Structure 1
Amino acid sequence: MAGTSPTRRRFLEGTLSGCLLPVLGSADARAAPQQIVYPRHIETMNERYDYDWLILRTALEKSVPAFGPFEMRQLDEAMSPPRVTQELTLPQGRINVLARATSPAVERQLLPVRIPIDKGLLGLRVFLVREADLPRFGAVRSLADLRALRAGQGKDWADVNILRAAGIPVVEGTFEHLYSMLMAGRFDFYSRGVDEAPLELREAQAQFPRIALEPSLLLAYPLPRYLFVRRDAEGERLARRLTAGLESMVQDGTLSALFRKYKGPIIERCGLEKRRLLSIPHPGLSPDTPLHRPELWYRPPPAK
């Protein structure tokens, strides 16, 4: 697997090492391994999901003593994020788990496991902008200033309603056209998650060299990224297993350790401690969101 990152190589090695070991004392120890099938996203999107599948794998491993063995594999066919969600809604869908940002519509269709696997990092947003507009954004001091600028977002993304509810104008487009729309002046900034922006900037600058990462602002709102399963009996069993595994990861520090290892360098690259924090609410957030549990969320360092 030349050229493959160490994290990615772990996912491509097939059946997980250790997941088929018999578990003494477990009622499910001699049962057939539980089959876990997760999606393969379109190639330009696939690498950014590796952390999600590492968290999924670790949660399943943590739950082996109580829930028995498992086999985990990735679907062969690559699909777009909307297609992935649709696949999980089908009674005979080929996947039985996915990771994505939550929204009221998605929670009506699918069953969320309410532990944010990225500790809420997706709700911390930085902006991709036209290089010539950097001084314009450097002058933004408040939400009122930001409302004078137009955001670009993907069609039907959860962020669209959040931004509009805060009075920020939004122009929607398809993912593959948002960069060209930005450079054509259709909107003023492309709001991306802290762990999305550096990777996307690297890809986009090959075609659009005058796109820049805005260095002074950080927009924050609660946007948990959950594991979702199908709303049926099998999905409910899997949700119980994943909840138990993730809770174990929270309690023994594994989730925080993996977050620091895989997200820490990206957070550092974005220089969050140097940015002005602008916070807005998420009006569609479920009341069941565990905002009362600070150990589940990453808090950006205070600006110096």
Structure 2
Amino acid sequence: MGALVLPGAAALTAQPPTPLRVVYPRRLPVIDTFFEYDWAVLRTALARTVSRYGPFELKPSAEAMSSRRVTLELAMPKGVIDIFVRATSPDLEKQFQPIRIPVDKGLIGMRVLLVRKEDLPRFAAVRTLQDLRKFRVGQGKGWADNDILAAAGIPVVEGTYYEGLFAMLSARRFDFFSRSADEVMREYEERRVSVPEMALESTLLLHYPLPRYFFVRRDAAGDKLGQRVKAGLEMMIQDGSLNALFRQHKSPLLEKLALHKRRVIELSNPSLSPDTPLQRSELWLPPGSTRP
């Protein structure tokens, strides 16, 4: 006679589903707080999709990583990270799979200038792109927006490392340092003592379309993770939680910069992919706005 199986016994012995393990890059301490918003968005997107995709475990890498190390790790099939966030470029989109929803609503394309104090009157007189072409901009080597600025006819001076660019500004190697609206205040406050001749320009706002995307590997695991994150982001757009996180993390800084009072100078992005969702107005913050 066969063994008696009690109703529900199989369910009692079933193992819970294994959580999806997602590792994002721990960044160097000086810039780690800049990414807090991005990882809050990622965590919320994964949480929105638990009923469809199952549980997850999201955590940073064991070691802090430079931008170069981040790229190398995601390029390796068994690299220690599964996802990163960065301003897009043709090279990145070729190497990795972009999730085409701008995490920061295009904010990285809103640029505020760091200049020398003595040059503030010269920048206050700028009214057009033609006026701005008289000045040299400082950029890091290989940055995503170097080609945008060069295509606009603005002379680009490249530095080999980020921290050295502030010294190059002081040494008159270039005339302004173009920074995203959500990082410029922190950078200025952190260096106003060590670089006393540097000033935060208050009249201009450069703008160009430059989305920051989450990127995953171009393999089966990356496809699955990408589909889940995109589904979660779409849910956040629908329920308003993406805008709520933006207002919590970004809007206070933008309001301090009085973006709505600045003259906007528009630049085109000649390297932008035709797949960029520019037609979806709900994904983008209008230039000069502080709250979606």
Larger radius of gyration: 2
Matched, 1:129 2:115: yes
> Residue deviations 1:278-301, cap 9 Å, x none?
001100001110000000000134
Match of 2:41 in 1: 55
In 2: Cα distance, 1:82 partner to 1:107 partner: 16
Letter in structure 1 aligned against 2:186: L
* Equivalence map 1:107-126=2 (5 Å): 107-126=93-112
TM-score (norm 2): 0.92
Match of 2:217 in 1: 230
Letter in structure 2 aligned against 1:67: Y
Match of 1:249 in 2: 236
> Residue deviations 1:120-162, cap 9 Å, x none?
0000001001111100100111000000100001110011000
Matched, 1:182 2:182: no
List runs of 5+ in structure 1 lacking aligned partners: 1-28
Cα 1:206–1:87 change in 2 (3 A) is farther
In 1: Cα distance, 2:229 partner to 2:171 partner: 44
Match of 1:9 in 2: none
In 1: Cα distance, 2:116 partner to 2:32 partner: 26
2:158 alignment partner, SS class: strand
1:175 alignment partner, SS class: coil
* Equivalence map 1:1-304=2 (5 Å): 30-173=16-159, 174-301=161-288
The answer on whether the counterparts of 2:135 and 2:175 sit within 8 Å (CA) in structure 1 is yes
2:77 alignment partner, SS class: coil
Letter in structure 2 aligned against 1:117: V
TM-superposed CA distance for 1:257, in Å, is 1.0
2:163 alignment partner, SS class: helix
TM-superposed CA distance for 1:31, in Å, is 2.4
Letter in structure 1 aligned against 2:165: L
The answer on whether the counterparts of 2:262 and 2:288 sit within 8 Å (CA) in structure 1 is no
TM-score (norm 1): 0.88
Aligned residues: percent identity? 55
In 2: Cα distance, 1:154 partner to 1:40 partner: 21
2:138 alignment partner, SS class: strand
Q: Which has the larger displacement, 41-50 or 183-192? A: 41-50
> Residue deviations 1:43-64, cap 9 Å, x none?
1111101111000100000111
Q: Which has the larger displacement, 181-190 or 205-214? A: 205-214
Letter in structure 2 aligned against 1:132: E
* Count of residues in correspondence between the two structures: 274
1:158 alignment partner, SS class: coil
